[in-house]
Amino acid sequence: MNIYGKLLVITGILVVAACAPDTPDRSTQTLQIGIERGATPVGVTLERLDGDGGTVDLSESIGRRPVLLEFWATWCENCEALHPRLLEAHAEFGDRVDFYAVAVGVNQSPERIRKHLEKLPVPFPTLWDERGAAVREFEAPNTSYIVVLDSDGRVKYTGTGAGQDIQAAIRTGL
């Protein structure tokens, strides 16, 4: 299978996974989704789509402060439903936790994401994962996937769907 065929298969899997039903609040559950809890992923460098642009090397935050990553897309309904919860969590924890919105490179472009951010801005960096480096590193199964790491760089929480209690998830990493 050539590279375009592989990309088509991966795109199809991501679209189907993004349309999957919500998982319930996982802050008290043991179900494993995505990267294993306790894992210590390395950071990746991604293009920043907001502000002045440039790049962000996630390894500069991971292992130094708690980190929250949200893997999202402009077309993801669960991500849109999570938006107010992320804003509330950032208002409460933004001074102690580094937040990043990681835009997956499936059926969207930097221009489309920037337009989306004009309508629904976030007060933390939005990163472009065009080649899927962060998706692979954090084993993102779909969009609306959240990963919380503690200040030692260990994964403390993973979850997916609109029903996540983000503030409880963050408390697992503090």
Judge whether 26 lies within some domain: no
Q: Is residue 140 in some structural domain?
A: yes
Q: How many domains does the chain have?
A: 1
**Is 27 part of a structural domain of the chain?**
no
Can you give the pLDDT at residue 31?
75
Sheet holding 98-104, edge to edge: 55-57, 45-48, 126-129, 98-104, 67-72, 145-149, 155-160
Q: Which CATH number goes with the domain that contains 44?
A: 3.40.30.10
> Angle at Cα 67 formed by Cα 63 and Cα 68, nearest 5°?
155
Inside any domain, residue 74: yes
For residue 89, give the amino acid letter. A
Tokens of 18: 């993004």
Written as six digits, the tokens of 13 are 């899997």
96 near 174, Cβ under 8 Å? yes
Q: What is the domain range of residue 50?
A: 3-20+33-171
Does any domain span residue 68?
yes
pLDDT the model gives residue 114: 94
pTM (2 decimals)?
A: 0.82
Position 30 scores a pLDDT of 53
Note down pLDDT in tens along the chain; length 174 residues. Answer: 544 444 433 444 444 344 444 444 444 345 788 999 999 999 899 999 987 789 999 999 999 999 999 999 999 999 999 999 999 999 999 999 999 999 999 999 999 999 999 999 999 999 999 999 999 999 999 999 999 999 999 999 999 999 999 999 999 999
